[in-house]
Structure 1
Amino acid sequence: MRGDTGFPRADAEHDFLRARRRQVLSRLAAWLRREPDDVNIMLPFDEVVAALGRQSERRLGLQVIRLDSIVGSVDRTRDFDRRFRPTSVRVRERWQRLALAQRRGESVPPIEVYRIGDLHFVNDGHHRVSVAHALGLRTIDAYVTEVRTKLDPYGVRHRGDLIVKDYRRIFLERVPLVGQARAAVVMSDPWDYAELGESIEAWGFRLMQDEGRFSDRAVIAQRWFAEEFTPVVGMLRQADLVGERTEAEAYLVVSGERYRLIRTHRWSDEVVNALRDRMRS
């Protein structure tokens, strides 16, 4: 264990002071680097579930989990930072008591966590996680409850990432893409999902008018991807109009410019080439 002098009580006190000092230095470093305010804030479980959309949950029982997979909390997001370093002296007494027990080799009960994908959120045992980090441990025993969500948590690192996930979840409720189509339509700006959803619904309305029959959202989503998005993206790539954007971002930008500049909902090589020339000029 770190800082082992042979006097467990003194070592436990030093463990806490070291953890507090690192939390303060980390916050200062983030400020000097002008990083986002949420870079050192642990993820709130309820906000993550709301953004991703809860489907179900099941108990998995006692498991050994990696400490670095624990990224959030159910209700203690103000007492510890993202790496479970204490943010104030308020937790000191209980923290040091647990650190002392660990150093004396006493039995410490497992924590309780929720699992979303490969991320874990503490329901009970925040101080135990914090002490384990401070003592340099890599794993911890935990009773795990798995929560399944509509979206996977891939890409969620900070609280701000939840905004994009929330807009994507709403977009996929409006435009229920599946499989390859679902994976292909990706935006960086959350508001782009709202604009693209409006665009696809308008496309579907025009399609139903042309065909004189009703189609549900799933059918519209499937046909939009196959008949509109895929061929148009192919033309945009040939015309070198995708660039550093995602394919969906390029589609949204160019489709908006198409109507603004050329006043048409049609796509053709001539339309794409005219857009390329006018946008570059």
Structure 2
Amino acid sequence: MNRDTGFPIADAENDFLRARRRQVMARLAAWLRRSPDDVNIMLPFDEVVAALGRTGERRLGLQVITLDSIVGSVDRSREFDRRFRPTSGQVRERWQRLALAQRRGESIPPIEVYRIGDMHFVMDGHHRVSVAHALGLKTIDAYVTEVTTRLSPGGVRYRGDLLVKDYRRIFLDRVPLVGEARRAITLVDPWDYAELAEAIEAWGFRLMQGEGHLLDRAAVARRWHDDEFVPVVRMLRQAGLIETQTEAEAYMWVACERYKLMRTHRWDDEVISAVRENRRR
């Protein structure tokens, strides 16, 4: 529990020192727990937008937002950690000046943020957010600009999550699935999106050879999902070959096994039996 001295200048100085100690202790705790390197790093706005694909924006005006929803920065991610604790003493003078103003009850201007999903990224007001966290506040006034993206920001919490989103965005450029078909393809390993895209493009090439005419990417994607993916997943479920993995991961695994065992692209009971038997071994 923090004990104020009753002297605002001294208390503002102590606020900063406590914030710095907490940042150091959080970094040490993450190291002792062997947590991922990005656990205490705020999300860079530009990287998030690049991974999700920006489609537009609109100003929402002045709102009250929760401090816990602020997870990133537009351009100041090195000066503060994920909880906006100062990472060095370089911001001390300005930080303490704002803390003093806050303690004296002076008017503090709203910050400016971008909103992506339920996440907020600071454009202007990093020190104000840091001071608010240090003083135990839960909300802050902010001018909000909402950014819409091609991919859903759901599941993005740390910097490492962006790699999966980035590869998924590229996958959907190559295989433009829509609606339920789009939502059905979920992979954990980002590299799998590249492999699956290549497999679908190869499938589409064989389809065009067989039918004797060209198809665009959207048509290939639709045909692959309806004529290949859905029937195969149905067979895998009936055969009990989908367990903890996603449907797309199960499809990739069994397609690879099928070709190694049978050297064919067909699907029938013989293929499924061979794959099941090989799995038991």
Give the alignment's TM-score, normalised by structure 2. 0.97
Aligned to 1:97: 97
2:53 alignment partner AA: G
Aligned-partner SS, 2:146: strand
Alignment of 1:1-281 (within 5 A): 2-281=2-281
1:57 alignment partner AA: E
Does the aligned pair in 2 maintain the 1:187–1:246 contact within 8 Å? yes
Does the aligned pair in 1 maintain the 2:175–2:197 contact within 8 Å? yes
Superposition deviation, residue 15 in structure 1: 1.0
- Find the aligned partners of 2:61 and 2:99 in 1 and give their Cα distance: 25
- Find the aligned partners of 1:39 and 1:108 in 2 and give their Cα distance: 30
- Find the aligned partners of 1:102 and 1:157 in 2 and give their Cα distance: 30
1:91 alignment partner AA: V
Superposition deviation, residue 139 in structure 1: 0.9
The list of structure 1 runs, each at least 4 consecutive aligned residues, that deviate by more than 4 angstroms after superposition, is: none
1:79 alignment partner AA: E
Deviations 1:227-271 (A, max 9, x none): 111111111122222221111011111101111111010111221
Deviations 1:159-184 (A, max 9, x none): 11111100000001111111111111
- Find the aligned partners of 1:261 and 1:141 in 2 and give their Cα distance: 62
- Find the aligned partners of 1:260 and 1:157 in 2 and give their Cα distance: 38
- Find the aligned partners of 1:235 and 1:257 in 2 and give their Cα distance: 15
Deviations 1:4-38 (A, max 9, x none): 33221111111111111111111001101111111
Give structure 1 stretches of 5+ with no counterpart.
none
- Find the aligned partners of 2:2 and 2:59 in 1 and give their Cα distance: 34
Does the aligned pair in 1 maintain the 2:167–2:194 contact within 8 Å? yes
- Find the aligned partners of 1:87 and 1:165 in 2 and give their Cα distance: 28
Deviations 1:181-204 (A, max 9, x none): 111110000000000000111111
- Find the aligned partners of 2:93 and 2:2 in 1 and give their Cα distance: 20
- Find the aligned partners of 2:280 and 2:190 in 1 and give their Cα distance: 26
- Find the aligned partners of 1:74 and 1:220 in 2 and give their Cα distance: 38
- Find the aligned partners of 1:200 and 1:3 in 2 and give their Cα distance: 63
Aligned-partner SS, 1:57: strand
Superposition deviation, residue 153 in structure 1: 1.1
RMSD over aligned CA atoms reads 1.2
1:272 alignment partner AA: I
Give structure 2 stretches of 5+ with no counterpart.
none
1:215 alignment partner AA: L
- Find the aligned partners of 2:92 and 2:70 in 1 and give their Cα distance: 21
- Find the aligned partners of 1:18 and 1:234 in 2 and give their Cα distance: 57
- Find the aligned partners of 1:2 and 1:223 in 2 and give their Cα distance: 63
Superposition deviation, residue 2 in structure 1: 5.0
Does the aligned pair in 2 maintain the 1:2–1:135 contact within 8 Å? no
Does the aligned pair in 2 maintain the 1:116–1:147 contact within 8 Å? yes
- Find the aligned partners of 1:19 and 1:230 in 2 and give their Cα distance: 53
Does the aligned pair in 2 maintain the 1:3–1:14 contact within 8 Å? no
Does the aligned pair in 2 maintain the 1:3–1:15 contact within 8 Å? no
Give the alignment's TM-score, normalised by structure 1. 0.97
